Structure 1
Amino acid sequence: MPAEKNTYDLLKLILNLLLIGLLIVITYRVVEVFIFGFFWAVMVVIATWPLMIKIQQKLFNKRWLSLLVMALILAFVCVIPFILIISSVAQNGHYLIEWARTLSHRELPTLDWLNSIPMFGSELHQKWLDLIHTDGSDLVDTIQPYIGSMIGWLLEQATNISIFIFHAGVMIVFSLLLFLKGERITRDVYLFANRLSKQYGADTVTLAGQSIRAVALGVVVTAITLALIGGISFVLTKMPFPGILTLVLFICCVAQIGPVIVMLGCIVWQFWDGHTLSGIILIIVAIILTTLDSVMRAYLIKKGADLPFLLILFGVIGGVLSFGLMGLFIGPVVLALAYKLFQKWINEQA
């Protein structure tokens, strides 16, 4: 009888574990689509909480008014830029189509400035002349195998943009909920951390918040600075659609894609139209922006979190390569926590 009871209890335990595991798996599959938006919202709320408090104080300490303002700010930063870009492309699409139609009738520039490049400039210039003086069949034959891959890549990027807009919408909703109950959630997080470790719990949560806020500050301020410099260069070199290009540059910097892609496209456009001086100016600006993107961001992050420069730099690079855009925050935070905890452990042992 006891053996049968033990067998029954064991089967009951196994079934309960299977049901709990199945419930966890199904729950995860249901909320999986919202996880990225939720963690993004956590990062945004931690980084912008002081701003929300200042706005609330200016608006008669009404939380719902500050939430409305924060919702407009988040929508303006995350969603509206993509809508403006898509709308602008749709409105000006006929200009692009007309430019593509007349492309074969346009006279390509000779790019005589290539001769001034030492060592291989004259050879490169001669190959360019050979290319533009033919009907372009050799070039078409060369790039034809890659046209299908290019179209597939463009479609994939269009899909990624729509997914990004969805995650941005989810982020705004979760951000408003976190803003609404921020004090209570903060208290619960500190209580949970103390339950896990009374010695390190509170310090760990505080350090994580400081790291996230420092990374956000470094990324946003750097992106704004690069966008302003790039936008001024677009205006001075008379690039078409300078406003849209500046917006795209800002988005690329925030997304950690960097300014290189936008600047490279503008440089090619200037040289293609025979504006050599403008192209050279944009090359200089591109070098400046690339340098600032690496140095300024890491410096601001280090200043906000008081952590070693190389630790933050490795955290940003490794996090982005391992986890994508969200790794921009995950990498530095994980390395910062590991570094501080290890440092405290060493000091205690000493």
Structure 2
Amino acid sequence: MDLSELQQSVEKLGDGAGTLPGDPDANAPPAGDLDANAPPMAAVGDLFHIDKLQEIALWAVSAVVNALHEQLLPLLANVGSLLFNFIIILFVMFYFLREGENVVKFLMRVSPLPDAYERRLFERARTIVSSAVVGTGLTSLAQGVLGMIAFAVVGIPWFFYGVLMMMTSLVPLIGTALVWLPCVVYLLIIGATGKAIGLAIWCAVVVGSADNFLRPFFMKGDTGLSSGLLFFAIIGGVQVFGLMGVVYGPLIFGSCAILLHVYQLEMDREEQLASACEVAPQVLPEGTPDP
């Protein structure tokens, strides 16, 4: 073996020294072949990347914030009017609590309805108002408990924010969103996108729908109104009167229902009197002289 052949043998051994028998990298394709698959893999990674999910979640939250912003502007513009109305409500409540019996007696004295109908009408009004207060309190409690469950799952101080959700559930239109929406934004900022999406879905669907379905259920009681009528009465009352529409809506519906019932009773009584006044023709026996 000459010197050139020995040098070639040493170079071959040096080239194969880094490859062990059975090494999976021995038959690996060159780096250029791997680069050919890079574009489609990157596209799939971009589709399911966490940054994309955060962008989608932030877009959804911004849309909700813009909608709430449009609703909050008129509310904030009327803060003075709301405070004035609240003071008037407190004054009226104090007056009726102190002089309620005298007011009821005066209204019954000047009313053209019979006393029995008046008592029935006032009793229905009292029942509806008490049912509205109790139903609103139970609904707020239920929404707060549902919110506490969600906050505990995502790792947010559940008791504090649950109590806040109970109080804000009384606010018309936006309600509990004043509490859970900032929590969703906070979770997005810290990178907990899955928790943020879950909290938003739970609060928007479960907690939000509880106000529409539980309140009529709790208020049904002895009001004499069905759950469907109570639902529309509450929705219409809140749209027209704001927060007090929770009481005014069912009260107006219940008063109209009892007045229609009174009208029906009066019509039936008049028909009975008219039928009783009809005198059947008398048949005189033969031989009886005419009067």
TM-score, normalised to structure 2, is 0.58
Letter of the 2:254 partner, please give it. Answer: A
Unaligned runs of 5+ in 2: 1-43, 269-291
| One-letter amino acid of the counterpart of residue 227, structure 1 | G
| Change in 2 beyond 3 A, CA 1:164/1:246 | farther
Describe the shift of the 1:240–1:273 C-alpha distance in structure 2 as closer, same or farther (beyond 3 A): farther
The amino acid of 1:237's aligned partner reads V
Q: Deviations over 1:57-90 (max 9, x none)?
A: xxxxxxxxxxxxxxxxxxxxxxxxxxxxxxxxxx
Q: Retained in 2: the 8 A contact 1:226–1:289?
A: yes
Alignment-derived partner of residue 275 in structure 1:
192
SS in 2 for 1:196: coil
RMSD over aligned CA atoms reads 3.9
Deviation, 1:308, is 1.3
Matched, 1:309 2:237: no
Q: Which amino acid aligns with 1:267?
A: V
**Which sits farther off after the overlay, 201-210 or 249-258?**
249-258
**Offset at 1:180?**
2.5
1:163 to partner: Cα distance: 4.2
Equivalent residue number for residue 222 of structure 1: 139
Equivalent residue number for residue 250 of structure 1? 166
AA at the equivalent of 1:224: L
Task: Check 1:340–1:175 CA distance in 2 against 1; reply closer, same or farther (3 A cut).
Answer: closer
Alpha-carbon distance in 1 for matches of 2:53, 2:176: 27
* 1:182 matched to 2:95: no
Q: Distance in 2 between matches of 1:126 and 1:246?
A: 30
Return 5+ residue gaps in structure 1 as ranges. Answer: 1-114, 116-120, 132-138
Which whole-Å CA distance do the structure 1 matches of 2:222 and 2:78 have between them? 32
CA, structure 1 residues 190+348, in 2 after alignment: closer, same or farther (shift >3 Å)? closer
Are residues 189 and 221 of structure 1, via their aligned partners in 2, closer, same or farther at CA, if it must alter by over 3 Å? farther
CA distance in 1, matches of 2:232, 2:72: 31
> What SS is found at the alignment partner of 2:169?
helix
Q: Compared with structure 1, are the counterparts of its residues 219 and 153 closer, same or farther at alpha carbon in structure 2 (3 Å cutoff)?
A: closer
The answer on 1:164 being equivalent to 2:56 is no
Letter of the structure 2 residue corresponding to residue 251 of structure 1: M
Q: Per-residue deviation at 1:157?
A: 4.1
Check the 8 A contact 1:311/1:336 in 2, yes or no.
no
Distance 1:333 1:275 in 2: 46
Aligned match of 1:239 in 152, 156, 178? 156
Distance 1:242 1:281, change over 3 A: farther
Cα 1:124–1:201 change in 2 (3 A) is farther
Aligned-residue sequence identity (percent) comes to 21
Q: Give the TM-score taking structure 1 as reference length.
A: 0.50
Distance 1:306 1:154, change over 3 A: closer
1:349 & 1:154 partners in 2: Cα distance?
Answer: 49
Out of 261-270 and 234-243, give the one that drifted further. Answer: 234-243
Q: Give the conservation status (yes or no) of the 8 Å contact 1:231–1:246.
A: yes
Q: Count residues with an aligned counterpart.
A: 215
* Pairing 1:1-350 to 2, within 5 Å after superposition: 122=47, 157-192=75-110, 195-198=111-114, 200-239=117-156, 243=160, 245-257=161-173, 258-283=175-200, 285-286=202-203, 287-346=205-264, 349=267
